[in-house]
Amino acid sequence: MIPSILPETTINPFKFYGEGEIQEAVFIDKTFYKYVETFSSDRQKDVYTLSFALSRQGYATLISTTSTEYKVWVDIRCADPQQVLLPKLVSKTVT
């Protein structure tokens, strides 16, 4: 699944309470996405690495863009994006 890429000006983030804290989310194409991480515009490779790693786990991802930064969003059904990626990160450091 390829991440969707949208200009930041076309999305309308909102706050919600979930998993014991206030989180940020957007609703695009019948899917709720929660905020994962912000990257500066010079870290485009990291943006795509994270987005595709989440996509390979079966979660829809969204990248919002401005002239200075990227934000990665993941399907709200992904309980903990960092936990999803942990096995891959551990296996890379062990080998």
**Would you state the pLDDT for residue 3?**
92
| Range 70-83 average pLDDT | 82
The CATH class that applies to domain 4-94 reads alpha beta
pTM of the model: 0.81
What's the pLDDT band for 79 if we cut at 50, 70, 90?
low
Residue ranges per structural domain of the chain: 4-94
Tens-digit pLDDT profile for residues 54-69: 998 889 999 999 999 9
List of long-range contacts for 57-63, beta carbons under 8 Å, 24+ apart: 57/84, 57/85, 58/1, 59/84, 60/1, 60/4, 60/31, 60/33, 61/1, 61/3, 61/4, 61/33, 62/3, 62/4, 62/5, 62/6, 62/11, 62/26, 62/28, 62/33, 63/3, 63/4, 63/5, 63/6
Cα R_g (the chain), whole angstroms: 13
